[in-house]
Structure 1
């Protein structure tokens, strides 16, 4: 399974979209500062995640969520 996840910083001003095989382990890495892009906005909490059995669909959904319309969709619906 692949999981597309959305993290929200504790200040609720920053969001991060990613993809992983293990959501709890990935969240721990973000909060430990091991991910350069997210380290300055710690701590993070998991806002939502979606499971995919098809890896190709997971990567396509992650790419969509990182687009302008995908960010608007996530903000309104997820």
Structure 2
């Protein structure tokens, strides 16, 4: 997953550097197409993160993902089954 994110980020930086400056590169179209292709690889991952965020936004619902680490007071949290 890290390789996919890194490729998408470098493609975005290329577009930002060529599009947001005063002089536009002649190959801007190919750079934008490359960026869109890289971001399509991230589409599934981004959608999963977004859906999980919506799921976690519901305050009245118990969540399946709980932290297994110790709390700040040093006590272990109870595991919910």
TM-score (norm 1): 0.23
Higher relative contact order (CA 8 A, sep 6+): 1
Structure with a larger share of its residues in strand: 1
TM-score (norm 2): 0.22
